[in-house]
């Protein structure tokens, strides 16, 4: 749908912003371009709608070499959203949204109808906001109008350059979620520039990590985080890597601790003696079928059977759940440990210390994988 073939951009002053770039965005796919400031993301994006012309190489949009396409006609097929939304200050929200339909010569009634529909779609009630001017909106609302405007003529391709970059983190997450919901319905082909790896991971079907003017890795988010292709990528995604690894690392049986286990029908004094021997303050309680029932505190086990003192265990997870889920369950139940089951079978408990060890294991394994790759970063032009 969008294809770059050996595209290079050298500016007049000799800066090579993009070097021999080849990649493709499939129809309906959202690819995020992520990388540090000045690595060529915006240049790459602006070459797609011919705001910038490549020095060499070819770019195809919907199978057509854009070098031979009238730029004005091309831009009508490509929605464009930028950080400084660029709304016309003297035009109302409805008029701003209807900009492209206006340029396309749609009749007024149809334009307004379409603009209202789009405002609704991005969560702005047209009867409330339609007649306002841009300076009567919040930053997040202006961004929404920017998105509505880009979608107004239903272009198959969207270019988004840090569209949510100027709003606070809470509004930003909200806008990202709304955009994901929209994209699930629209299936636009989207190139989305961001310097925020978190945003790239959340939105992208695939992430293109830019080095200096080239793509270092173009892969689905889990792969970029879990198996960075080069030390550069590992470094770029690495700043708060531990947190991101939580969501892609699974609990394994080797991560678990084995506390004492007692059964529901065991006499309490016998169970208490056992806990004293093992110097354990509590035990996991299983039923006759060895299914997890709950837990019991040593101090409670004075008389009767374990059944009378056992407490239900709410904090549990199946083996194979992620460390992030484990962490969430710990917080939700304010639990110092959580039980892990394989089907109906209890197989051990995960403690905060073990969770930390599992995280280290995961990060170290990545580091070894990356070290094994024989990558020479010096081959990247300009680095
Ligand atoms: N008109 C220009 N003339 C000369 N150099 C330019 C021009 N525009 C951009 N550059 C340079 O090209 C390189 C890539 O710029 P580009 O704007 O594509 O980067 P970016 O990754 O989008 O950065 P940012 O995240 O800061 O927006 C930078 O070194 C920049 O200084």
- So what's the pLDDT on residue 377? 33
Q: Kindly state the tokens that stand for 363.
A: 């990060």
Please, what is the average pLDDT of the chain?
86
ipTM: 0.93
User: How far does the centroid of ligand 1 lie from the alpha carbon of residue 15, in Å?
Assistant: 9
Question: Which secondary structure element, helix H or strand E, spans residue 60, and what is its range?
Answer: strand 56-61
- So what's the pLDDT on residue 366? 57
Q: How many CB atoms are located within 10 Å of the residue 77 CB?
A: 16
What DSSP state is assigned to residue 255?
A: G
- So what's the pLDDT on residue 27? 95
CATH number of the domain bearing residue 69: 3.40.50.300
Let me know if residue 289 belongs to a domain.
yes
What DSSP state is assigned to residue 122?
A: T
Report the pocket of ligand 1 as residue ranges, CB < 6 Å.
11, 13, 15, 17, 35, 37-43, 195
User: How far does the centroid of ligand 1 lie from the alpha carbon of residue 220, in Å?
Assistant: 26
pLDDT tens digits for range 54-106:
999 999 999 999 999 999 889 888 988 887 767 889 999 999 999 888 888 88
Atom of ligand 1 lying closest to residue 210 CA:
21
Got the DSSP string for 232-243?
A: HHHHHHHTTHHH
- So what's the pLDDT on residue 375? 33
> Atom 25 (ligand 1): residue with closest C-alpha?
37
CATH number of the domain bearing residue 265: 3.10.580.10
CB 109 within 8 A of CB 65: no
- Phi, psi (5° rounding) for residue 289? -90, 15
Q: Are strands 345-350 and 2-10 parallel, antiparallel or unpaired?
A: unpaired
- Residue 270, domain extent: 253-359
- So what's the pLDDT on residue 195? 84
Same domain? 219 vs 259: no
- So what's the pLDDT on residue 7? 97
Same domain? 209 vs 273: no
> Which residues is 215 bridged to in the sheet?
210
User: How far does the centroid of ligand 1 lie from the alpha carbon of residue 55, in Å?
Assistant: 15
| Residues of the chain falling short of pLDDT 70 | 85, 239-244, 363-383
Same domain? 230 vs 257: no
User: How far does the centroid of ligand 1 lie from the alpha carbon of residue 145, in Å?
Assistant: 27
How many domains does one find in the chain?
2
- So what's the pLDDT on residue 168? 73
- So what's the pLDDT on residue 289? 84
């Amino acid at each position: 749908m969008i294809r770059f073939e050996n595209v290079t951009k050298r500016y007049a002053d000799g800066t090579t912003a993009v070097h021999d770039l080849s990649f493709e965005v499939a129809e309906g796919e959202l690819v995020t371009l992520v990388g540090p400031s000045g690595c060529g993301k915006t240049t790459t994006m602006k070459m797609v709608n011919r705001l910038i012309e490549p020095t060499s190489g070819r770019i195809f949009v919907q199978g057509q070499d854009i070098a031979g396409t009238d730029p004005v006609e091309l831009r009508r097929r490509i929605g464009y959203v930028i950080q400084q939304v660029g709304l016309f200050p003297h035009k109302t929200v409805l008029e701003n949204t209807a900009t492209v339909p206006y340029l396309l010569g749609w009749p007024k009634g149809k334009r307004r109808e379409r603009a209202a529909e789009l405002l609704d779609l991005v969560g702005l009630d047209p009867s409330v906001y339609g007649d306002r001017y841009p300076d009567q909106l919040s930053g997040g609302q202006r961004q929404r109008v920017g998105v509505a405007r880009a979608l107004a003529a239903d272009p198959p391709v969207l270019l988004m350059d840090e569209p949510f970059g100027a709003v606070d983190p809470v509004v930003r997450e909200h806008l990202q979620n709304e955009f994901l919901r929209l994209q699930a319905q629209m299936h636009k082909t989207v190139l989305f520039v961001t310097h925020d790896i978190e945003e790239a991971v959340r939105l992208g079907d695939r992430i293109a990590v830019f080095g200096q003017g080239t793509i270092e890795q173009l892969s689905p988010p889990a792969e970029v985080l879990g198996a960075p292709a080069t030390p550069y990528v590992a470094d770029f995604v690495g700043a708060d890597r531990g947190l991101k690894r939580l969501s892609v690392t699974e609990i394994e049986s080797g991560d678990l601790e084995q506390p004492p286990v007692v059964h529901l029908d065991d006499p309490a004094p016998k169970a208490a003696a056992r806990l004293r021997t093992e110097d354990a303050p509590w035990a996991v309680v299983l039923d006759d079928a060895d299914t997890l029932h709950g837990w019991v505190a040593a101090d409670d086990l004075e008389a009767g059977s374990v059944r009378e003192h056992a407490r239900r265990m709410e904090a549990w997870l199946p083996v194979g759940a992620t460390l992030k889920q484990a962490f969430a369950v710990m917080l939700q139940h304010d639990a110092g440990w959580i039980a892990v089951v394989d089907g109906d079978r209890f197989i051990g408990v995960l403690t905060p210390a073990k969770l930390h060890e599992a995280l280290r294991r995961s990060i170290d394994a990545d580091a070894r994988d990356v070290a094994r790759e024989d990558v020479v970063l010096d081959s990247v032009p300009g680095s």
